[in-house]
Amino acid sequence: MKEELAYIASTHGLTLKDIMKPCRFPNVVKARNEAIFFVRIQYGLSLEKIGKIFNMHHSGIAYAITSHLYAD
């Protein structure tokens, strides 16, 4: 999973550490939302488990998934 998340980060010009830390820059948020959506679809993990991976609350994970689905 780490390799896949690192690949998603690199497509946005970031590192895995960049998308794992709490940062609200738009480019980081977009990459993080894509990574969260990928983990949810690919592995089918619960919102709580994804939240533990990204050190976020499960409601923030749900918002990230919704934001990625309806992003331009």
Statement: the pTM of the whole predicted model exceeds 0.85 = yes
pLDDT in tens, 13-61: 999 999 999 999 999 999 999 999 999 999 999 999 999 999 999 999 9
Q: In which region does residue 13 sit, left (phi positive, over 0), alpha (psi from -120 to 50) or beta (all else)?
A: left
What's the burial of 53, exposed, middle or buried (CB within 10 Å: 0-12/13-18/19+)?
A: middle
Give CA 54 to chain center in angstroms.
7
pLDDT confidence of 11, banded at 50, 70, 90? Answer: very high
